[in-house]
Amino acid sequence: MSASLLHCPAPAKLNLFLHVTGRRPDGYHLLQSVFQLIDRSDMLDFTVRDDGIIHHVTDVPGVPEASDLIVRAATLLQTAANCHHLGADIAIRKILPMGVGLGGGSSDAATTLYALNYLWSCHLDRTQLMALGLQLGADVPFFLFGQNAFVEGVGEALLPIKTAHCWFVVIEPGISVPTAIIFSDKQLTRNTKPIRITDFPDANNYLHAGFGKNDLEVVAAKHFPEIETALNWAKQFGNAMMTGSGSCIFCPVETERQADMVLEQIPAQWTAWKAKAMEQHPLAHLTRS
């Protein structure tokens, strides 16, 4: 019987703030953020094949095979670990919407690297997997880092950070935001003063500090008024903010009961859900540090 790993989570992330601090000569933007893992996840199943074929058995609407990060991650690992004789059947139950700032595609790729590195006995350590992940996208190394992080550079510089044990209400305004539209907008500010990791509120004070902002919000709201509407509604309950380049809005609350109370009042035109903050990626134990 083939070796398998089933029900492997690919958790979402939230940007607890997102500052654009500059731009490199090559056009890439310099960022600072805190990435927070939450317990809302896609789920992936992996079954090893012995013929070298990587078969994504689940079609994801809107994702052409050539740009499928799951297949690209598996193929990259095959080459890096020189295990072309091994393959995998990969299935996904897609929970996280695409193009909404939750990092779903990047997380799927990271979970693929976690699982197949284990199943194929590649023995790559966390640093090696993160280097592979960076070839797939700027957010992939974070999910392989395995814990919440203070993020700098273009997303590749990660430091561990302790965050609050809280809940989040997340609103999906029902639109997908192309990241390129946001970062190419001339109105995007790119000169927010850099902060230090110690400037971010500690876990006990985060909910009450109202810290930071998302520099991409103003531009995203200009292009997509639905984002501004959702933001304005959510701010009555706390320090609501857009995550990533949009479109999802989140509001941190202290307890699950408070999250439920907000959800009871969500306008009918939006999809919304609650999620709990996590300290570690649920698959981090599969990989050596």
Q: Is 13 an active-site residue?
A: yes
Catalytic residue among 45, 68, 108, 139: 139
First to last CA, the chain: 30
Cα distance between residue 10 and residue 228, in whole Å: 28
* Residue 128 main-chain phi, psi, to 5 deg: -65, -40
Instruction: Locate 92 and state its tokens.
Output: 């996904």
**What HEC string does 180-212 produce?**
HHHHCCCCCCCCCCCCCHHHCCCCCCHHHHCCC
What is the identity of the amino acid at 112?
A: T
Catalytic residue among 13, 45, 68, 108: 13
* Residue 168 main-chain phi, psi, to 5 deg: -130, 140
Quote the distance between the C-alpha of residue 149 and its chain's center: 12
- H/E stretch holding 168: strand 167-172
Cα distance between residue 191 and residue 30, in whole Å: 10
Residues contacting 129, CB < 8 A, separation 6+:
113, 114, 117, 144, 287
Active site residues: 13, 139
